[in-house]
Amino acid sequence: MRSSLTGAKAVRVLLVLVLTVTAGAMLVRMHGFELQVKSLPVVQQTAGIVFELRNIFGDHVGGAEIVVAGRHKITTDEFGVASLSGVSAGDVGVSISAPGYREVSLNVHLSPGKNLVVFRNETALVPSGFAVDFHVYWNTVSGGLAKAIAEISLYNGTNVPVYVTECDVVYPGEASTLRLLDSEQAFVDFGVMSSVADVVSHPETALKIASGRVVQASPVVLPGTPKDGEMYTLRLVSTHDLSIPRDQRNIVTLVDEMDYDGDWDPHVP
């Protein structure tokens, strides 16, 4: 609006504004003119998300497919990690599937920015059947001597008890075999760290693992001087029915490479 000054007189123009606030808009009335100012919607905030998947033993789960909000699909790498960006913040549905594991479906709340979602311990992926975990590593003890350890864990993901009848570790050199279940006391010692493992004596000695139970065996001290890169093999025999002949039972064979572990925990980080 223009105003002009003529001579020594000044003309004062007084504007009277009447403001009326309505939901989502503001009306400005100015001497017959009406201006509507609309409030613009806030741009929806987005989130990034990083998943880390581990199983109940503490190992990374690679090759798992993760579906976010029903349409975003990503796959975990060898370290059990997958990431996604540009997801709307708020509650989103997440489903996870991986070979040998039960499917997981749940809602996750995403805050604007970066979100880290870790599945481990109580939220870890659970095997859909009988599963065996095997690791070998070494560390130094007093006097600087190298000590080699084998860690073995078992999980019964079936609906019936599983009976373990044999468990051997084959180590390098002359391909010697360390039999971990060669006596009834050995069965007791094997499961002594777990209160959910039972030893049965008939019709033969076996370690009984109930459905949904985890058994962590006592750490096994391996003979000899360990060397990085040497391969150790676990052979474990199990069955759902002890009346089944020995040569028809299930055999699990796992191989792991010996390496140094400074914190005595092969699952960390």
Tell me: the pLDDT tens digits for 115-157? 999 999 889 999 999 999 999 999 998 888 999 999 999 999 9
- Asked if pLDDT for residue 61 goes beyond 70, the answer is yes
Q: Are strands 231-239 and 90-97 parallel, antiparallel or unpaired?
A: unpaired
Q: For residues 78 and 179, what is the distance between their CA atoms, to the nearest angstrom?
A: 32
- Residue 45: phi, psi to the nearest 5? -80, 145
DSSP secondary structure letters along 85-124: EEEESEEEEEEEE-TTB--EEEEEEE-SEEEEEEE-GGGS
- Annotation: CATH topology of 130-257: Immunoglobulin-like (2.60.40)
- Asked if pLDDT for residue 172 goes beyond 70, the answer is yes
CB 52: neighbour CB atoms within 10 A? 17
Residues of the chain with CATH 2.60.40.10: 46-123
- Residue 163: phi, psi to the nearest 5? -110, 120
Looking at residue 263, its pLDDT comes to 87
Kindly state the DSSP code that residue 213 receives in the 8-state scheme: -
Looking at residue 20, its pLDDT comes to 42
- Asked if pLDDT for residue 191 goes beyond 90, the answer is no
User: Which residue type, as a one-letter code, is found at position 7?
Assistant: G
Contact 65/98 with Cβ under 8 angstroms?
yes
CATH code of the domain made up of 46-123: 2.60.40.10
- Asked if pLDDT for residue 98 goes beyond 60, the answer is yes
Q: Which of 11-20, 52-61, 81-90 has the lowest mean pLDDT?
A: 11-20
Q: Where are the alpha helices (DSSP H) in the chain?
A: 184-190
Looking at residue 192, its pLDDT comes to 77
Q: Are strands 25-30 and 33-38 parallel, antiparallel or unpaired?
A: antiparallel
Highest mean pLDDT among 210-224, 227-241, 255-269: 227-241
CB 257: neighbour CB atoms within 10 A? 12
Largest CA-CA distance found in the chain, in angstroms, rounded: 123
Chain centroid, CA 209 distance in Å: 24
Contact 63/99 with Cβ under 8 angstroms?
yes
DSSP secondary structure letters along 106-175: EEEEE-SEEEEEEE-GGGSB-BSSEEEEEEEEEEE-GGG-EEEEEEEEEEE-SSS-EEEEEEEEEETTTT
Contact 197/218 with Cβ under 8 angstroms?
no
User: Which residue type, as a one-letter code, is found at position 10?
Assistant: A
- Asked if pLDDT for residue 196 goes beyond 80, the answer is no
Looking at residue 44, its pLDDT comes to 59
Residue holding tokens 């009346």?
243
Mean pLDDT of 157-186: 92
Looking at residue 150, its pLDDT comes to 97
Tell me: the pLDDT tens digits for 103-116? 999 999 999 999 99
Q: Which of 45-49, 54-58, 89-93, 203-207 has the lowest mean pLDDT?
A: 45-49
Contact 55/65 with Cβ under 8 angstroms?
no
Mean pLDDT over the full length of the chain: 85
Residue holding tokens 């540009």?
86
Classify residue 218 as exposed, middle or buried by CB count within 10 Å of its CB (0-12, 13-18, 19+): middle
- Asked if pLDDT for residue 50 goes beyond 70, the answer is yes
> HSE (CB half, 13 Å, CA atoms) of 26?
8
Looking at residue 171, its pLDDT comes to 87
Looking at residue 4, its pLDDT comes to 38
